[in-house]
Structure 1
Amino acid sequence: MPAALSADLRARVVAALEEGLSCSQVAARFGVSAASASRWRAKAQRTGSPAPHPMGGDRRSARLDEHAPFLLDQVAQKPDLTLADLQAKLRERGVTAALGTIWRLLSRHKLTYKKRRRLLRSSSART
């Protein structure tokens, strides 16, 4: 995924627009699109800064934090619960959440469990 253009470039573009240049002129000068220059100016007017928003990361599982004690209690009572079971228990409480969202919440609380298939015995081992 490409990175956002620097905050410094965005600030210089907005400053040039405020000096009275058109979006097309600024775009040609700084090597960006006229649409980007227009969006950055609108964002600077709306928020006070044309800086980009943070990219990536988990933005959804934080909404389950208020239900974390309930989920952690359920896992403590029955450690082999599946994510689908936890999803059903949340649904009973009126909360909808995807399996990945629940998994990320449990991962943040260091509750991951890797199920491994049983390995065959080594041919060199005693039988």
Structure 2
Amino acid sequence: MSNALSMDLRLRFKQLMDEGQRASAAGRTLLLSRATAARWGKKVRNDEPLEPQRAGRLKGSGKLEPFLAFFTELIDQDPDITLAELQSALLAAHEVKCSTSGIDALLRRHGYTFKKKPDCAGARQARSARSP
């Protein structure tokens, strides 16, 4: 997706329309596409703001967002639960199919991570005692 056009350009467009030019003529003057000129012209005629809209998805949206409490409850019960186990629990409890990467993205977005390695670099796992 491209970046939004500058507010300066939008204000110059509005000024040209306020001076009496039609949206198509103002768009040609400023080298805008026909669609952009028509869209901005409609906003100017309806006294709507010309600020660019926020790009991207709305925060907190998505298929799995309503199930965050369900996932956090399962994680609190068993901190070592795997993504595959979370996936199967969601399917069994709510009959919702999803990918493990979707669950991972949701949990990371809300601050849940899991380190597979020990905390410090010098830590080693305990060795089992040798049998004589």
TM category, shorter: 0.5 to 0.7
Cα deviation, residue 3, structure 1: 1.0
Correspondence list, 1:57-72, <5 A: 59=58, 61-62=60-61, 64-72=64-72
Greater RCO, 1 or 2 (C-alpha within 8 Å, sep 6+): 1
Q: Unaligned 5+ residue runs, structure 2? A: 118-132
The equivalent of 1:23 in structure 2 is 23
CA distance in 1, matches of 2:44, 2:75: 46
Does the C-alpha gap of structure 1 residues 29 and 110 become closer, same or farther in structure 2, counting only changes over 3 Å? same
Superposed CA RMSD in Å reads: 3.2
Shift of 1:71: 0.9
Per the alignment, in what secondary structure is the counterpart of residue 50 of structure 2? Answer: coil
Matched-pair identity in %: 34
Equivalent residue, structure 2, for 1:3: 3
Equivalent residue number for residue 124 of structure 1: none
- Structure 1 runs (4+) greater than 6 angstroms displaced: none
Higher percent of residues as helix = 1
Aligned length: 115
Q: What pairs with 1:105-124 in structure 2 (closer than 5 Å)? A: 105-113=106-114, 115=116
Q: By how many angstroms is 1:97 displaced?
A: 5.2
TM-score (normalizing by structure 1): 0.63
